[in-house]
Structure 1
């Protein structure tokens, strides 16, 4: 089992004739001080040159119609990540490959400029952070998310951002300026406040308290910020619902959301292995509750119910969440971003006005 990684192994996927892969990856900064010397390996980043950059979405239970993913794979290594199976499309494992063999799209801003320049382009908010975290560690060097934000700010184009990283604060200058025109909202994921749980659950994501502080700083800068408790994992993090809601509300979050843990395709065996490695005392109980939430299966793919679950456990989580939100003074309407300020990107000829 790789220290500092979420997945305990590389899965094989018969769906895409996936071959066995050799695992590699970075380690947590302090692991050598704790566990002694080890052979350090590196995360691999492959440059990808897609033909287009905007992905259109038609799912009725997702609150956006178009999104951009500056990267494929995610170094945060969250064991529950529903996007892990997408790595199988590249004949790579949704396990360790997903968090160590990454893809970067340095042409993203140029591709976006071309799409926004089309005469038939329809303005609607673009979501960042839907299939990979836009502020995962490699953003520090690649700065692809920053380049996308710079273009959207230039065009006065609305954007939603979801992340579990306080690295977003590096772009607070752009975000604050866009917020003044109601062009941006941010969701910060806080799944647990327990650093011991976070170290294995989402091993390379920033400390939970750093994310709470990011909420505070964004709110202080006038950026509309929300908190996501997704996913809520029964018998692992569900006991923290009330505490997390109170903490993020005090930090300045305008609203909170949640989704019970989802285990599509290869995520289920990876999650089971993680439970066996880190929570053997309750692994069977956790999976029993998840199956009750998901209609007797590891995962429910159906629209609507996949986001909230079903049955007694789903009702209990929902009731606790609603009460916690009310107690924290939350529950206001969501911000509606403006689309009427959009102006196409400047081309070779500068704007006259």
Structure 2
């Protein structure tokens, strides 16, 4: 039975829409955060901390489903080829040993497929809730931005100060209600993310055990380098992100934090619009990501060491150490 994997390209329009909407919300929330106080500051923090693209996450999830489909097809094809020999064509101890080894390889293929399906389902699940979150904060940021734009001209015109006060009161009520909704979604996302991460961890452990039982053991020492390398990068990025975030407390954060949120939103909006216009192509002369693999506007200051498909050398300015790459799979156990 086929997995029936969706085509990742079917989520392109969704990805393009969120690529514009998310950074736009980061820009829009800046003026309300300066204007209407604590609730808007907390909303700005949620907008900043949840800058993402649910459409792109779904595209990645679809790719995992396609990967599972390919592994399932490989396992079935291998079995069909072996079955086609027929008992009359080959028999004996060597045949039995070969058939046994084929069975182990097929089991490994199906185990990897099962894990890929699990990852794909997890990505689709979290992307669905993120889509609700992002849509909600985009709508809220737009409404609050509109109210701020109404408030300031009224506030500057003395006869209209009463109307300005009414707008401010209404905006603060909208912000408080919207903040409650966003906090609930944020808490649900954290719970969902923790649950899915635990499930993926369990699935990975189970798949490793299954592969090891069929002759493809993973040496934990091979994983120390890649794991430490990626965790160091991730924690450094998270520390920079948290340092630049608006305060989540009741008191307003320093203005520079709000300005960074808006500046980052403008930066990403420009990059995303350019990517959409060029169908994802990067112009290295205009985009630092294309030349150095860095993105200062998003606090990504580590040059990329990835080698794009078709290139012989990394696009970044340094060579990734050999221990930072996972070893090739050992399907038949020959490296043990």
Q: How high is the TM-score relative to the length of structure 1?
A: 0.26
Q: Which has the higher contact order (CA 8 A, sep 6+)?
A: 2
- Greater share of helix residues, 1 or 2? 2
- Greater share of strand residues, 1 or 2? 1
